[in-house]
Structure 1
Amino acid sequence: MRKKIKIFLASSLTLTTFLTIPIPDSTSYVKASEKSNSIVVNNTSNANVSNEMDILKLNYREYLAGNESINSNHLLDSKINSVHNTAKARLTSFLPIEDRVKGEEKSLFKNLPLGENVNNLNSSYLYLYQMALAAKTYKRTDLSGVNYYQNEETIHKVIDGLDWLYTNFFEDQEKGYYGNWYFWEIGIPMNITKTMLLLEDEIKRYKPHLIDSYVASMDQYLRNGKNGDIDLDSRFHRGANLADIATNRIIQGALLGNEERITTAIDHILTVFKTIDPHNIVNGNTAGFYEDGSFIQHQSVAYTGSYGKVLLNRVIQTIRILNNSKYDKKEILVPTVKDWIYNGFSPVIFEGYMMEIVKGRSISRTGTGYQDVFTIIEAMVEVSNYLSDEESEILKSHLKYIANSNKSSFSTGLFTSFETIIKFNDILTDPAIEANKGIDENSHYAFNLMDKTVHLRNSYAFAFSRSSNRISKYEYMSGENLMPWFHGDGAYYLYLSGRDQTKSFGSHYFATIDPYKLPGTTVPVEERKTVPQLYDGMLFYLNTEHPLNFHSSSESQNKYVYFPVGTNDYSGGVKLGEYGVSGIQLGDEVGYRDKQAGLLPEDLVMYKNAEANKSVFLFDDELVLMGSGIKDEMGRDVITTIDNRMFAENETGTITGETYDDRRLNDPINGEYDLKWMNFKTDAEGTQVGYYFPENSKINVTKDTVTESINRIRTSNPDTNVTKNFFTLGIDHGKDPENEKYAYVILPNFDEAKTNEYSNNPSVKILSNTENVHAVENTKLGMKGFNFFSDKKNTVSNVTSFNKASIMIKNNHNGTVTIAVSDPTLSLDKMKLEIVIPDPELVAASEGVKASVSRKKALIKIDSKNSNGKSFEITLKMNAD
């Protein structure tokens, strides 16, 4: 039996610029006994600051509000007007003391009742911060519109509001900490701390104990902490969350004049910069960056594009805060952040768009994709300030390329720092800085530590999403990402150059696409229900009577509902230069396994997946996708989606193709065919794709128009309908399939003629498509790729593997052969393979690789223990006559 309690979960907040409305005459604020002598930040420089803590405070004030010199730049007029217009809207909704209590309801701002909804309390503190920001944001007198700079009435209202909220809703610990923990430990303290920083002098003058009281209470609300401070052992204080809390505490320490608080917070934030070693986990922390560029948050979620960018932004702020003080850590922080940018962030950004595979539940939020990258660009501008001249120019060139390739309306209004807006404009308008991609145009990234693969070419990017018993299949939380079931089961995203990617992906894509037909997935045909549908509208599963104690933020909720890992260990891939092979053996969610074992409550619903081995072989013009061993022990129908391309309602899609019996196909096409090749395009740029089918099989072709509401995927999204078109290719494997298989080749940017030509003279050959081995040869490149799915000995095309493995082999022009090998399970201590090669001679080998050669073959042994899925290479010379 489930026990129900009333609880509120957090949802992301959207900042809106409100219409300007006159301030009412009736106001309530603390009366000043004397005229304010607030700090005017533009008249102070670091050189004149004697107190180290004043340096920290001044650095952050100028980061948030600029100064008179900075703010006089006309480039900031729009940003500054926005700050003051937002404050005007907040002042309009600010309630005088006599209107704050109506019956049992209390509010500081109109339409934000307080006492039970932590979102409203967080918004109230945010509104006060926005008012304080305007009061400390210098605005030129010749700039039109409202101007609240150093406005005493506004300042007094903010202080009054801080005091009233503290007395009524923050001071009493028994009444607080309802809803989501994040608001109490991070969100609310962040806005309180910034507000107190901006108005420090006035608060100390009019309410001298308010800062001390607030900090003491914020320490008490750090309930996932330890003795009122961060607890490095707490699962809540990791990665981006830890950086958020630590940065808040640095500023609080400066406000209090508490050096120990500052140095402790700095020590805590420095732990975020340590590369995570999965074989040497410290404090149980798996959140952070890994050696292969992967970023993980929430224990097991690939999260570069959401929490990763939050961490980056917070760390940049920390660098700025500590700059030129005795606490300065640039020599530690800057090189690490630069490495994050090039190896972690840049590979998952295509033409200014953040890829879907690294955004967790935030893929269901509107405004993501291009906007996700704004934060990263701002960070890149900041980092460029601290690099050598040569490194700085290279980074500026890189960020200029990302910004110029962004297809959205790029708005520096989303930048936090005023000064960075000016520097960013200087970079864009400097003709001496050439836009440069910054990373190789042709490159391959095997992010095996977060089960993701990215393959980049100048004209396209291919992102492949995997999961395992190490990495979550998806993330659902707080009513976000409601239909995520197959996101980590081999789903892929093909981004084509020149395309506005929001017309192909983003929140509208997930709202309108059939969630059982994500490209690349093999799924059972059944109807699954969302978490709110399953549990009476609740956004989580609740059962506090079960031994696992399911509540909103419990570890059991995380494990089985929010971000479940799989049961399969095979999820990895190998990289050889700019090419790669990746594969996954589908597994169930861990919850299904544990439900069958009787470990979970009977009413906790868990779904079973189909079985399949899946591979992608990634070359230049060809992307080869294969599947085998497709079956379903529950006897359901199983389908594989080859592709499912979304295009806008006002775009015209064109489909052409040819069957193996030489039948030409043209629009309109809806049906099942023995396809040899097919081509799809719309009348817009960046939509053309060819498909080649090397094995004769029945392919379903459809073109549909779909209308759905975007709150279908996120409860807090508006109930707004969007209409999209879809071109879908798929395979119906039938009911209760036994060892079904598929193979197809995606040809990015190929037109109809080129696709047809390729099908008549393909450079890709399928060498094996069995339950044990997938193997492909690219004759044009002189390369072969293999995924061995079995622990037993298997031989294909002169290559024998004695264990599970991902392998690539390239014949070089100089008579040598290079072999790359990776452990796709990330668990093997030893690996062994044998390759038939004439009179081989060892030329070079990675550390841990040994080769025994004979007249006709080479036996290769690899010490792969704790190798984290990295690729080992060995080069052999062929000495044939």
Structure 2
Amino acid sequence: MLPAVSASPMSRRGLLRAAAVGAALAVGPLGTPPAASAAAADVPGALVPKWRALILGSGFTPTAEPFASRLAALGATARDLRSAMARATGSLWPDLPFADPDPDTDPESYTYSGNLQTSYSRLRTLAEAHAQPGTGLTGDTGLRDDILAGLDHLHDEVYHAGQTRYGNWYSWQIGAPQALLDIDVLLHEHLGADRIAQHCAAVDHFVPDSAVAQYTGTSTGANRVDLCRVLALRGVVGSSAAKLALARDALSPVFPYVTNGDGLYADGSFVQHTWVPYAGSYGSVMLGGLSLLFALLEGSAWEVKDGNRQIVFDSVDKAYAPFLFNGLAMDAVSGRAVSRGAKAAVGGVRQDDQLRGQSILACIALLARSASAAEQSRWRGMVKGWISRQYYTPALTAPGLGIAALARLAEVAAGDATAIPEPVGHRLFPGMDRAVHRSAGWAACLSMASRRITYYENGNGENLRGWHSGSGMLYWWGDDFANGQYSDDFWATVDPYRLPGTTASRKPLADAEGGAWGAARPDVRWVGGTTDGTYASVGQYLKGLSSTLLAKKSWFLLDDTVVCLGAGIHARDGATVESVVENRNLGLAGVHAFTVDGRAQPGGLGWSAPLGGARWAHLAGHAGYVFPGGAPASLKALRHARTGAWSDINQGASPDPITRRYLALWFDHGTAPAGDTYAYLLMPGASPAQTAARAADNGWLSLLANTDDHQGVRVPSRGFTGVNFWNPGSVGGITVGAPASVTIREAERTATVCVSGPLRDGATIDLTWDRPVSAVVSLDPTVQLVAAGATLKLRISPGKLGAVHTAVVRPG
């Protein structure tokens, strides 16, 4: 069975506000859902107004901005949808046929089931407009009757007990019932007992208790949380204590850490669909679902009390915050969602890293209500900081978020929490082959692939050309610049063979090459690195997707620089192989000065030039680039415009053409490289003078090795030595007896030695550092001291999770 279509959190939840109704519960103070009273705590129906307040929001002024314009827009959308609605056999809207004449053989069955889900989602939009103040349709009885008629039509036509499902399982078990049950909450007092019974029977048919009986298949991670949401709301709407208890208990398998497959990892990784890093999309859905369910059930007889739920709270700092920068969610952990940049059908919104980030911020703000006082204070400060720094698409003014999510962010922004700045430091995520580096003024993220993690995910016609996004793609953003680099139609217009940081063959690949749902994975193990928490050494043994390409790639990440090395580059496909230094999105009309060794280059489109011999280059408003010893003749540059459409990479997206300008820098390795290398320095935010000074400082960097066996550098001014040992050997006074990544940081009177075994085979790593050591300050339990004195000898037992093992010593 195929994985689900991952709709954006906004389209799946809507999160719009209405005035709370019902006498059992009252809406609490600003931003606070009503709590169950002691008398009502054991009555499932008492949770109806509580869920209503959660999904529709509370504590905002509907006549004030940004809410007034959002509510008016909701009303306009609802009017358009209402006028287009036409009940007919096989459809509720003419553009959304859901009748499938032959569900076993018709390839359009996925479309039909998706149209069913969208039909319910549109009705939910109408229900929101009916409940919300300020929409122009608030309390409209004619609209209410049309919604009820639409519900009856969908039930009678297709979504009822006894119907055989077709197409995508997700539409029947999650997408449609979530929207249906939300509508049932919004219109609860108008449904009548018979209609409620019919809806509950339909949900019971498509989402039986057995859907959560085993933690496997499509019932894991975010999907499991979504299924539990359906079961919980079925219990609320149908007043079933048993369903609420089942939903609560079925959440428990989501909480514990995993070491493979779907879920949260102890290192902060989040994986869905077995092979795909997904904190920015499915992870957001899981966090959002859990925050809603924790809040709904808190104080009731079904409150989630599993001690492992603390892992969810811990994930805010470990799994989500590292991938949020200035409020955006990094694309490297958003899977095929990166291809959803075009506006969807009527009532839909475009999705990008900014909007995904805003959704996660709103989830964190809601989860804080169920967390400890210390967590609440810290998270609100983090969210407030992200909101204040979301320059490209400000969270409180940009369209996209539902009213409830917007209200949560507005509450935090107006609150007394102190905005927390972006942290500085490095985080490795060996569980999903990702690394995040933060320094003063910029942040970067590395996207890699191995036996454990896919090159890219495609599925349901989405992300058809993300082929090389796991081939060492290096994302980066500035503190107050370049935050829209990947938001501004990047994926629809970038050359998919020339993603920044990657080494890739230009061998033509078919759309969805390698298979769907993360099937495309290289047969390599050495992917990972080491860090002391500030600087890092990261490496990837690269095998190209559907090509003969081989390469060893290393990144050494420091305070103002990323040192990038490549070696052992081989291929025999007859196609050009390139290592991409940069491919910067300059926008629709951007003309950014490009300087090489102090000489301005032409700014016109179509300019290209070889840059052999260049010592440095600078792209105004972005970064500096240094080529130690001078660039080889293979370095090339191109300034050009590229035109594409979102439908090129997502079959359901807009075909409207889009044009963006790019500045590309790359090493051209030719059609049959046999051991090629490259070396360059990336300096985000550097000025031309800073870039030139670094290029002129021949003592700043010592290139220790750049071969098929070892890659390493030393930066004396930073006390940094980093070596990736693809094979055992000696480099820069460091000897290892097994493949390893090593980072050594010398600061004041101590040195921190960090070692990992990226092969994850558990083999012991013996390390010798040819440096006198007078004392051992500390050792991880996995590190054994063999000798200290004239040299340091350590024995590391690395385990099989790619973790970093540390020794702190005092050099003699």
Fold equivalence (TM over 0.5): yes
CA 1:826–1:694 in 2, change beyond 3 Å: closer, same or farther? Answer: farther
Match of 2:707 among 770, 782, 804: 770
- Distance change >3 Å, CA 709–CA 423, structure 1 → 2: closer
Mapped pair 1:317 → 2:307:
no
Cα distance in 1, alignment partners of residues 123 and 694 from structure 2: 63
For residues 709-761 of structure 1, give each alpha carbon's deviation from its aligned partner in whole angstroms, at most 9, with x where no partner exists: 23222122211222222111111222322111111111222222221111111
Structure 1 residues 495 and 422: CA distance shift in structure 2, 3 A: closer
Counterpart for residue 780 of structure 1: 717
* 1:715 correspondence with 2:661: no
The residue identity in structure 1 corresponding to 2:283 is: G
**Secondary structure at 2:147 match in 1:** helix
Q: Does 1:627 align with 2:566?
A: yes
Does the 8 Å contact 1:481/1:714 carry over to 2?
Answer: yes
Going from structure 1 to structure 2, the CA distance change for 1:387 and 1:12 (only over 3 Å counts) comes to: closer
Query: Match for residue 643 of structure 1?
Result: 582
Secondary structure class of the residue paired with 1:370: helix
1:582-622 CA-to-partner distances (Å, cap 9, x unmatched) read 10111255xxxxxxxxxxxxxxxxx2241001000001112
Return the offset for 1:647: 0.4
Please name the residue that 2:109 is paired with.
none
Q: For residues 60-99 of structure 1, what are the structure 2 equivalents within 5 Å?
A: 60-66=51-57, 74=64, 76-95=67-86
Query: Which of 652, 656, 660 is the equivalent residue of 1:724?
Result: 660
Partner of 1:529: 510
Alignment counterpart, residue 47 of structure 1, candidates 29, 37, 55: 37
Closer, same or farther: CA 795–333 of 1 in aligned 2, 3 Å: closer
> Structure 2: how far apart are the matches of 1:725 and 1:871?
41
Q: Is the 8 A contact 1:319 1:333 kept in 2?
A: no
Is the contact between residue 653 and residue 680 of structure 1 (CA under 8 Å) also seen in structure 2?
Answer: no
Does the C-alpha gap of structure 1 residues 304 and 692 become closer, same or farther in structure 2, counting only changes over 3 Å?
same
Q: Aligned residue for 2:104?
A: none
Q: What does 1:515-594 align with in structure 2 at a 5 Å threshold?
A: 515-531=496-512, 558=516, 562-588=518-544
**2:495 counterpart residue number:** 514
The answer to whether the 8 A contact 2:537-2:742 is kept is yes
Alpha-carbon separation, structure 2, partners of 1:765 and 1:242: 51
Identify which of 629, 633, 640 aligns with 1:704.
640
Matched, 1:111 2:92: no
Q: CA deviation at 1:74?
A: 4.2
2:366 matched to 1:376? no
Distance in 2 between residues matched to 1:423 and 1:704, nearest whole Å:
42
Q: What corresponds to 2:674 in structure 1?
A: 738
**Alignment CA distance shift 1:178-1:388 (3 Å):** closer
Instruction: Identify if the C-alpha distance between structure 1 residues 91 and 614 changes in structure 2 by more than 3 Å, giving closer, same or farther.
Output: same
Q: Please state if 1:677 is matched with 2:615.
A: yes
- Quick one: which amino acid aligns to residue 284 of structure 2? K
Aligned to 1:283: none
Match of 1:294 in 2: 269
| CA distance 1:620–1:15, change in 2 (3 Å) | closer
Partner of residue 343, structure 1 = 318
CA displacement 1:274-320 (0-9 Å, x = unmatched): 22133xxxxxxx21211111111111100111111111111111012
> Does 263-272 or 183-192 show the bigger shift?
263-272
Cα distance, 1:309–1:429 mapped onto 2, change above 3 Å: same
Paired with 1:679 and 1:875, the residues of 2 have a C-alpha distance of: 38
Change over 3 Å in CA distance of 1:379–1:334 after alignment to 2: farther
Matched residue SS, 2:319: helix
**Structure 1's 154 and 331: CA in aligned 2 closer, same or farther, altered over 3 A?**
same
Equivalent residue runs for 1:3-14 within 5 Å: 12=7
CA distance in 2, matches of 1:524, 1:852: 45
SS at match of 1:734: coil
Counterpart secondary structure, 2:539 = strand
Deviates more, 1:727-736 or 1:309-318: 727-736
Which letter maps to 2:331?
Answer: E
| Deviation string, structure 1 residues 503-553 (Cα, Å, up to 9, x no partner) | x2236222222211112222223222214xx8xxxxxx9xxxxxxxxxxxx
**CA distance in structure 2 between the aligned counterparts of 1:251 and 1:303, rounded to whole angstroms:** 26
Is the 8 Å Cα contact of residues 692 and 755 (structure 1) preserved in structure 2? Answer: no
- The answer to whether the 8 A contact 2:24-2:46 is kept is no
Measured after TM superposition, the shift of residue 411 of structure 1 is 3.9
Post-superposition CA distance 1:170-220 (Å, at most 9, x none): 23745x42221110111011111112223333323xxx3333333333333
Do structure 1's residue 689 and structure 2's residue 624 form an aligned pair? yes
The letter of the residue matching 1:218 is V
What is the deviation of 1:829?
3.3
The answer (yes or no) to whether the contact 1:574–1:580 under 8 Å persists in 2 is yes
Judged with a 3 Å threshold, the aligned counterparts in structure 2 of structure 1 residues 391 and 562 are, in CA distance, closer, same or farther, namely closer
CA distance in 2, matches of 1:622, 1:779: 14
Amino acid at match of 2:382: H
**Which residue does the alignment assign to 2:236?**
254
1:424 to partner: Cα distance: 3.3
Counterpart CA distance in 2 for 1:264 and 1:621 is 52
Q: Distance in 2 between matches of 1:634 and 1:411?
A: 50
Do residues 269 (structure 1) and 251 (structure 2) align?
yes
Which among 412, 420, 428 is matched to residue 427 of structure 1? 412
Matches within 5 A, 1:166-205: 166-171=155-160, 173=162, 176-204=164-192
- Give yes or no for contact 2:641–2:661 (8 Å, CA) kept in 1: yes
Cα shift at 1:10:
5.4
**Cα distance between partner residues in 2 of 1:216 and 1:736:** 63
Kindly indicate whether the alpha-carbon contact (under 8 Å) linking 1:588 and 1:608 is maintained by their aligned counterparts in 2. yes
Distance 1:626 1:477 in 2: 33
Give the Cα separation in 2 of the matches to 1:755 and 1:728: 18
The CA distance in 2 between the partners of 1:717 and 1:530, in whole Å, is 15
For the residue of structure 2 that corresponds to 1:776, the secondary structure is: strand
Which one has a bigger Cα radius of gyration?
1
Contact 2:588 2:660 (8 Å CA) reproduced:
yes
Q: Distance in 1 between matches of 2:396 and 2:732?
A: 54
Shift of 1:246: 0.5
- Name the SS for the 1:771 alignment partner: coil
> What pairs up with 1:831-842 in 2 under 5 angstroms?
831-842=765-776
| Aligned partners of 1:59 and 1:323 also within 8 Å | no
Contact 2:582 2:664 in 1 (8 A): yes
Cross-structure match for 1:23: none
Partners of 2:47 and 2:267 in 1: how far apart? Answer: 34
TM-score, structure 2 as length reference: 0.88
2-structure distance, mates of 1:426, 1:665: 48
Question: How many aligned positions are there?
Answer: 767
Distance in 1, matches of 2:210 and 2:372, equals: 40
Does structure 2 retain, via aligned residues, the 8 Å contact 1:295–1:344?
yes
CA contact (8 A) 1:624 1:745 kept: yes
Distance change in 2, residues 1:54/1:414 (3 Å): farther
Moved more, 617-626 or 116-125: 116-125
Contact kept, 8 Å, 2:291 with 2:366, in 1: the verdict is: yes
Contact 2:524 2:543 in 1 (8 A): yes
In 1, Cα distance between the equivalents of 2:124 and 2:117? 11
**What code does the residue aligned with 1:121 have?**
L
- TM superposition shift of 1:78: 3.8
* RMSD, matched Cα: 2.8
Structure 1 pair 375–771 and aligned structure 2 pair: CA distance change class (3 A): same
| Structure 1 residue 799: Cα displacement | 0.5
Change beyond 3 A, Cα 1:94–1:42: farther
- Matched residue type, 2:54: Y
Q: Secondary structure at the match of 1:216?
A: helix
Structure 1 residue 122 corresponds to structure 2 residue 117: yes
TM-score, normalised relative to structure 1: 0.82
Counterparts in 2 of 1:718 and 1:696: CA distance versus 1, 3 Å: closer
